[in-house]
Structure 1
Amino acid sequence: MSQCCVNQSSAHMRLIRKKNTKPELDVRRLVHSMGYRYRLHRRDLPGTPDLVFPSCKKVILVHGCFWHQHDCRLGDRQPKANPSYWLPKLQRNKDRDAATERALLVLGWGVMVVWECEVRDKVAVAGRIRRFLDEPNIS
């Protein structure tokens, strides 16, 4: 790969944020409009969950389909440039997600994952979130 393409790829990758992504902001606006209040990115919890609801001991993780390898058309895409680097990295993301979810469950937290592709259907995702937040947390 030429140096020009590497620099373009690196510049593109630097623009991708870890927090406050568009899907996360959409979920936050939706949850807030539904009347729920939450805390953001609590670093004392495994995986620094995106939305934390301390009163009901639940968290919502908003995952990008590509980065967390969802089984939708967005997540099914494989990187064309430097797959020997990216494929193991994407697998580590999946492994870390599973470990984070297990650790949160062990601590007694309810966990919900909202995928980037789901955020497009606001009515459906709002229903899922409402059911998740309103059901009792079984620890």
Structure 2
Amino acid sequence: MDKFTKEERSNIMRAIKSKDTTEELMLAKALWHKGLRYRKNNKSVFGRPDITFKRYKIAIFVDGEFFHGYNWEERKFRIKSNQDYWIPKIERNIQRDKEVNEFLIQSGWIVIRFWGNFIKKNLKACVSVIEDEVVKAKIAFLK
């Protein structure tokens, strides 16, 4: 049973952003301060990654724990209301993430995915992973 009314829950869910989330902005700002220039939510790249370095074919996704199914096999049983909607929706999101990864990798892209909470707790490590990939891609690009 949901502790919110249907209208309250609807308003809460409507307020959740699909882009420019707190975690995305944290990561983007940190990359910008490191001198790394990128595009956000690039529609020309399959799957519309949150951050792209198109020249080097690097796609970065920031996945929210709820909508992308973090620890899904355990957490799906915690959904108490509207299970008939949420469980198939989140499982389809997980499947779509796999399809996007496969397509981009097949197309020669480097795909990096971070969970939102991981970014909050380990921002420097996330930036370091991306920096390393950009440096490797630059070297390969120049050859």
Structure-1-length-normalised TM-score: 0.86
1:36/1:65 Cα in 2 relative to 1: closer, same or farther (>3 Å)? same
Instruction: Supply the AA of the counterpart residue of 1:95.
Output: Q
Structure 1 runs (4+) deviating above 6 angstroms are none
Q: Distance in 2 between matches of 1:80 and 1:31?
A: 38
The offset of 1:66, in angstroms, is 1.5
Is 1:96 paired with 2:96? yes
- 1:76 alignment partner in structure 2: 75
Q: Distance in 2 between matches of 1:63 and 1:91?
A: 14
The offset of 1:133, in angstroms, is 2.1
The superposition leaves residues 72-112 of structure 1 with CA deviations (integer Å, 9 ceiling, x where unpaired) of 9xx93632211121111110110111111111112211110
Q: How many residues align?
A: 135
The offset of 1:16, in angstroms, is 0.5
Secondary structure of 2:5's counterpart equals helix
The offset of 1:39, in angstroms, is 0.9
Structure-2-length-normalised TM-score: 0.84
Q: How does 1:1-139 map to 2 (within 5 A)?
A: 5-71=5-71, 76=75, 78-120=78-120, 121-136=122-137
Higher normalized helix content (fraction of residues): 2
What are structure 1's unaligned runs of at least 5 residues? none
Question: Percent of pairs identical after alignment?
Answer: 30
Secondary structure of 1:8's counterpart equals helix
Q: Is the 8 A contact 1:51 1:61 kept in 2?
A: yes
The offset of 1:53, in angstroms, is 0.3
Secondary structure of 2:108's counterpart equals coil
Q: Distance in 1 between matches of 2:11 and 2:100?
A: 29
Q: Is the 8 A contact 1:112 1:132 kept in 2?
A: no
Q: Distance in 1 between matches of 2:56 and 2:137?
A: 8
1:131/1:71 Cα in 2 relative to 1: closer, same or farther (>3 Å)? farther
Q: Which has the higher contact order (CA 8 A, sep 6+)?
A: 2
Secondary structure of 1:66's counterpart equals helix
Secondary structure of 1:135's counterpart equals helix
